[in-house]
């Protein structure tokens, strides 16, 4: 925001409860963790002494409601110390939304990491399932179950009323987006959390060498030592894999590296209980499980370098930053078949990891990684890097470059832009309807423009010109026949046969540009337009810059 509104006279305030940390320490931590640098000249930190009230350990019963009320008290302290024109909640204190909108008169936005309550949480209680948020004493008592379901439903209604007070709603992934849209009856905007993976992508990997020289496979788990992370599932899965390897007389040794942060004494006690559980219940020794608590970032990088497999067992993880970091460091990830790992990371494209639900499925996935060849594992790593880390950036940049080409083209013209081995074909009709496609060099320009002509004719039939001004944005344009036409014209040889029997194909001059830079106005530079663009995310801008340095701007299409 500082970059975008640099010319405006704006001041930024950060409300924080980290009263034992200085402003410099907080900013330095953000720089190290997320590679984010902040200009300090118009930034002020306000410390909130009441933040201790929102700690869950204060409320062993009615935790949801009492924590939410505590968040309201913290919000009141914040409002007492400063009344901003725009208030953004990123901590998940829902009562602060009506507080700042209706009492402070602020414009309100929120960034939701994890819904305070979900329909699945209510479903677990209704089905009387014992879980981290549903004690066995309640699950086995019908009266208490019914009372808790009523409590949850009333809280869900209150949560919805708070959410409706937000002018702008942002979420950190598809899973959270689906739940917030359902709970709050709003249209949330998806903004993925910052994951600075540049260093991890460049890390040298030692895991395959450790496997070949020592017959040892390290399996890395990263996360806070919290009950919802489901560490017992990891321990049981490792125990099962150990038994299977022994049954097969395998010489391969496996070791689970649990790398977690402990927030307070309760987490430390939980880690101690997990160590005892690993030994007494699952028969795992110190050779099988290594505990790395509150490690430095350098130690974490070392563990990522030495680990062949990453494991993540939280059910309905809202996003999964540790899964992303594992993929970036070339670990083969095995994550829970739910939440962010399923919807945003592993389950969205070519195989770049494994998804599992039960102990058996986790053990099966780990055994599969062990049994496949190094070449097959390298394919999974390649898919992870190219599919997850680059495809979204490439899509954004293609859309940006396409719109730029259309804006710089005159009406009633056909033009082709050559960028290395790829072509961007742009056709702008006399009525200013434009079509654009990206092809390789094998796809002839004549065929591409015939396809664009056909697509735009079909579009006009489905959506008449009189309705075009009523379409607010491209996502609201329901042209369902596009995919069918693209499939039909996919093969250039078959598509060429289609064009040869069409008499209406016009012999219109096609303007060929050597690069996209050639279509820009005099004095304009593509680098400047990319940097100033609001349609490109920060990750896409970084991708473009790195690709320019390697002279591979279009090689990922």
| C-alpha triplet 544, 548, 550: angle, nearest 5° | 120
Segment 479-517, tens digit of pLDDT: 888 878 887 887 766 666 655 544 444 444 555 555 555
348 versus 548: the higher-pLDDT residue is 348
Residue 47 confidence class, pLDDT cut points 50, 70, 90: very high
- DSSP annotation string for 16-40: E--TTS-HHHHHHHHHHHH------
pLDDT tens-digit profile of 49-69? 999 999 888 888 888 899 999
Tell me what pLDDT residue 264 has: 80
- Assigned token pair, 222: 């990263």
Q: Between 176 and 403, where is the model more confident?
A: 176
Question: Crossing angle of helices 207-214/297-306, nearest 10°?
Answer: 50
Residue 138 above 50 pLDDT? yes
For the stretch 288-306, pLDDT in tens is: 999 999 888 889 999 999 9
CB-CB neighbours of 492 under 10 Å: 16
pLDDT of residue 284: 94
> 3-state class of 227 per DSSP?
helix
What per-residue confidence (pLDDT) applies to 240?
A: 95
Mean of the per-residue pLDDT values for the chain? 83
Q: Is the pLDDT of residue 345 over 50?
A: yes
Q: Model confidence over 306-338: pLDDT tens digits?
A: 999 999 999 888 888 899 889 989 999 999 999
Output DSSP code: residue 254: E
Predicted pLDDT at 166: 94
Phi and psi torsions of 508, nearest 5°: -105, 145
Q: Long-range contacts made by residues 395-402, C-beta under 8 angstroms, separation at least 24?
A: 396/535, 396/536, 396/537, 396/540, 397/530, 397/536, 397/540, 397/543, 397/544, 398/438, 398/557, 399/535, 400/530, 400/533, 400/535, 400/536, 400/540, 401/516, 402/426, 402/436, 402/438
Q: Do 15 and 51 form a contact (C-beta atoms < 8 A)? A: no
What's the average model confidence in pLDDT over 153-170? 94
Q: What is the mean pLDDT of residues 155-175?
A: 93
Distance of alpha carbon 56 from alpha carbon 368, whole angstroms: 40
Choice among 124-138, 150-164, 214-228 with the minimum mean pLDDT: 124-138
Closest Cα to residue 380, out of 349, 358, 422?
Answer: 349
Q: Has residue 522 got a pLDDT over 70?
A: no
CB 334 within 8 A of CB 365: yes
Q: Phi-psi category of 403—alpha, beta or left, where left has phi over 0 and alpha has psi -120 to 50? A: alpha
Contact residues for 442 (Cβ-Cβ < 8 A; gap 6+): 492
* Rounded percentage of the chain residues whose pLDDT exceeds 70: 83
Q: Are 235 and 291 in contact (CB under 8 A)?
A: no
For residue range 244-292, list pLDDT tens digits in order.
999 988 899 999 999 988 878 888 999 999 999 999 999 999 999 999 9
Least confident of 10-19, 381-390, 417-426, 434-443: 381-390
The C-alpha R_g of the chain, in whole angstroms, comes to: 27
Helices (H), 55-172: 63-81, 96-98, 119-126, 136-139, 142-163
DSSP 8-state class, residue 134: B
Please state, in angstroms and rounded to a whole number, the distance separating the CA atoms of residues 455 and 497.
Answer: 17
Q: How confident is the model at residue 70 (pLDDT cuts 50, 70, 90)?
A: very high
Of 115-129, 167-181, 389-403, the range with the lowest mean pLDDT is: 389-403
């Amino acid at each position: 925001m500082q970059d975008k509104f640099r010319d405006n006279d704006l001041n930024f305030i950060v409300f924080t409860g980290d009263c034992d940390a200085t402003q410099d320490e907080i900013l330095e931590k953000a720089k190290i963790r997320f590679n984010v640098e902040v200009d300090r000249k118009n930034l002020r930190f306000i410390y909130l002494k009441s933040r201790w009230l929102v700690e869950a350990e204060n409320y062993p019963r009615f935790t949801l409601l009492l924590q939410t009320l505590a968040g309201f008290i913290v919000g009141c302290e914040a409002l007492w110390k400063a009344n901003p024109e725009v208030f953004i909640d990123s901590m998940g204190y829902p009562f602060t939304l009506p507080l700042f909108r209706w009492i402070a008169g602020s414009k309100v936005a929120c960034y939701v990491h994890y819904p305070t309550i979900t329909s699945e949480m209510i479903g677990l209680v209704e089905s009387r399932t014992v879980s981290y948020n549903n004690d066995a004493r309640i699950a086995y008592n019908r009266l208490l179950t019914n009372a808790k379901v009523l409590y949850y439903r009333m809280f869900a209604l209150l949560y919805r009323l708070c959410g409706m007070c937000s002018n702008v709603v942002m979420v950190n992934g598809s899973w959270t987006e689906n739940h917030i849209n359902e709970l709050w009856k709003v249209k949330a905007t998806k903004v993925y959390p910052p994951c600075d993976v540049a260093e991890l992508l460049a890390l040298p990997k030692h895991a395959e060498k450790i496997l070949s020289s020592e017959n040892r496979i390290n399996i890395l788990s990263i996360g806070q030592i919290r009950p919802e992370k489901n560490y017992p599932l990891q321990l049981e899965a490792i125990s099962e894999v150990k038994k299977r390897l022994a049954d097969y007389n395998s010489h391969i040794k496996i070791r689970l590296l649990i790398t977690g942060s402990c927030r307070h004494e309760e987490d430390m006690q939980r880690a101690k209980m997990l160590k005892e559980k690993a030994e007494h219940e699952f028969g795992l020794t110190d050779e099988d499980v290594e505990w790395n608590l509150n490690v430095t970032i350098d130690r974490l990088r070392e563990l990522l370098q030495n680990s062949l497999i990453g494991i993540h067992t939280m059910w309905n993880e809202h996003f999964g930053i540790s899964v992303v970091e594992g993929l970036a460091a070339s670990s083969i990830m095995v994550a829970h078949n739910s939440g962010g790992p399923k919807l945003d990371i592993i389950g969205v494209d070519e195989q770049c990891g494994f998804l599992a639900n039960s102990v058996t499925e986790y053990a099966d996935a780990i055994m599969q990684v062990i049994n496949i060849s190094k070449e097959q594992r390298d394919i999974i790593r390649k898919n992870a890097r190219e599919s997850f880390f680059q495809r979204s950036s490439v899509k954004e940049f293609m859309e940006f470059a396409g719109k730029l080409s259309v804006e710089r083209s005159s009406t009633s013209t056909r033009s082709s832009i050559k960028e290395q081995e790829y072509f961007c074909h742009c056709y702008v009709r006399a009525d200013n309807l434009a079509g654009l496609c990206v092809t390789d060099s094998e796809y002839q320009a004549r065929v591409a423009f015939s396809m664009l002509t056909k697509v735009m004719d079909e579009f006009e039939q489905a959506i008449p010109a009189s309705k075009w001004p009523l379409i607010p944005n491209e996502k609201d344009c329901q042209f369902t026949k596009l995919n069918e036409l693209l499939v039909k014209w996919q093969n250039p040889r078959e598509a060429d046969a289609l064009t040869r029997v069409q008499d209406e194909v016009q012999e219109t001059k096609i303007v060929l540009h050597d690069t996209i830079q050639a279509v820009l106005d005099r004095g304009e530079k593509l680098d400047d337009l990319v940097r100033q663009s609001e349609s490109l995310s920060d990750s896409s801008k970084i991708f473009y810059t790195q690709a320019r340095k390697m002279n591979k701007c279009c090689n990922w299409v």
